[in-house]
């Protein structure tokens, strides 16, 4: 006998800015350690849970269109019917998560005129940046991964999901949401210390306080330097974490840390020659407001070069 509670369902379609290749988004999620195994991906469909205004929601997304005429169908599952505000926030969160509204027309135009960059860009055609579902999740991950082996950091993140998130069962599978700031602020300090250690517990609570007290509009659209300064003021968040959160948690592409060793190595790999920080900065400036996407393409190239998995499988 099936005792699973009947859930509310809401269906519809999203229309990403073309070109958009949903399969590339799924492939990235299957390879990105920070988010791998946190969603169900099978036969081109993704199922993922997250909380909106304290309510657990499970989304089921599938591609119904083509790369150049993209359509993404969705089903929203919840215990109770979502309010209009909640439903809109869910759709906005999906759009943000998969960068569906990013218009890359000008970026492709610039990249196609660069003989070194064009082959790499062609291989990534239709890829839109996949971000953390929220900048708060990104900040927590930055804390967990500091001076910590990747498998250990992943285990700790799983403990955040299971210990402080919410759950919703869909089609017989229990899905966990990542906690919201209020969930960690309401948690026992002793329990956090026992699970994450005293330093990480302190930093997680500092992150939760900061994000609970700050408007999302400031983080996503406020003055770049002010947002950067605010992030640096959070205990436990250093320079590397700030750059990481700005790009992968907030989608802020205005400035990229081109002086970092990893960025220089990635650009050098694409241009088949050793480049200086100054030369990499000149390349970035050529891409203008799209330098963030330029860095993402560089990063994908170097990240999967040894395995020859991501970029090549994505084009099949």
Instruction: Name the H helices within the chain.
Output: 22-31, 84-98, 105-111, 117-123, 135-145, 150-164, 181-185, 189-196, 198-212, 216-221, 224-232, 239-244, 261-271, 277-287, 291-303, 310-314
Residue tagged 């498998």 (tokens): 151
**Residue 314 confidence (pLDDT):** 34
Length of the chain: 316
Which two structure tokens, joined as six digits, stand for 199? Answer: 């330093």
- Write out the residue limits of the CATH 3.30.310.20 domain(s) in the chain: 8-107+123-131
Q: How far lies 244's CA from each of 96, 261, 263, in Å? A: 16, 14, 12
Rounded CA separation 34/31 (Å): 9
Specify the CATH architecture of the domain 135-230: Orthogonal Bundle (1.10)
pLDDT tens digits, one per residue of 71-120: 999 999 999 999 999 999 999 999 999 999 999 999 999 999 999 999 99
Three-state secondary structure call for residue 251: coil
**Residue 310 confidence (pLDDT):** 37
Q: Is the model more confident about 278 or about 313? A: 278
Q: What is the CATH number of domain 8-107+123-131?
A: 3.30.310.20
The answer, as to whether pTM is greater than 0.95, is no
Q: Which residues contact 82 (CB under 8 A, 6 or more apart)?
A: 8, 10, 52, 55, 57, 76, 90
Q: Which residues contact 72 (CB under 8 A, 6 or more apart)?
A: 13, 14, 15, 16, 22, 61, 62, 63, 64, 65, 98, 100
Mean pLDDT score across all residues of the chain: 91
Rounded CA separation 58/48 (Å): 6
Q: Which residues contact 88 (CB under 8 A, 6 or more apart)?
A: none
pLDDT tens digits, one per residue of 148-178: 999 999 999 999 999 999 999 999 999 999 9
Q: Is the model more confident about 55 or about 303? A: 55
Rounded CA separation 189/205 (Å): 8
| Residue 121, φ and ψ in degrees, nearest 5 | -65, -40
pLDDT tens digits, one per residue of 21-79: 999 999 999 989 999 999 999 999 999 999 999 999 999 999 999 999 999 999 999 99
């Amino acid at each position: 006998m099936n005792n699973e509670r009947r859930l509310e369902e809401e269906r519809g379609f999203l229309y990403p800015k073309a070109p958009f290749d949903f399969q590339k988004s799924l492939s990235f999620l299957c390879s990105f350690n920070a988010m791998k195994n946190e969603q169900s991906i099978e036969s081109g469909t993704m199922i993922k849970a997250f909380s909106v205004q304290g309510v657990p929601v499970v989304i089921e997304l599938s591609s119904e269109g083509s790369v150049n005429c993209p359509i993404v169908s969705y089903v929203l599952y919840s215990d109770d019917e979502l309010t209009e505000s909640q439903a809109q926030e869910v759709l906005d969160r999906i759009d943000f998560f998969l960068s569906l509204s990013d218009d890359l027309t000008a970026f492709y135009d610039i990249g196609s005129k660069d003989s070194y960059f064009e082959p790499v860009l062609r291989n990534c055609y239709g890829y839109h940046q996949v971000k953390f579902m929220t900048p708060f999740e990104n900040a927590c991950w930055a804390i967990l991964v500091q001076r910590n082996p990747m498998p250990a950091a992943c285990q700790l993140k799983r403990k955040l999901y299971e210990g402080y998130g919410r759950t919703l069962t869909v089609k017989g599978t229990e899905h966990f949401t990542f906690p919201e700031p209020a969930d960690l602020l309401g948690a026992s300090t002793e329990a956090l210390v026992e699970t994450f250690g005293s330093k990480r517990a302190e930093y997680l609570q500092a992150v939760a306080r900061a994000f609970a007290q700050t408007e999302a509009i400031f983080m996503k659209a406020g003055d770049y330097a002010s947002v950067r300064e605010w992030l640096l003021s959070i205990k436990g968040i250093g320079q590397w974490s700030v750059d990481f959160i700005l790009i992968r948690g907030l989608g802020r592409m205005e400035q990229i840390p081109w002086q970092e060793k990893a960025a220089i190595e990635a650009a050098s790999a694409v241009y088949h020659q050793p480049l200086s920080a100054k030369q990499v900065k000149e390349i970035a400036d050529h891409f203008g407001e799209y330098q963030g996407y330029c860095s993402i393409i560089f990063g994908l190239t170097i990240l999967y070069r040894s395995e020859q998995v991501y970029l090549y499988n994505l084009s099949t």
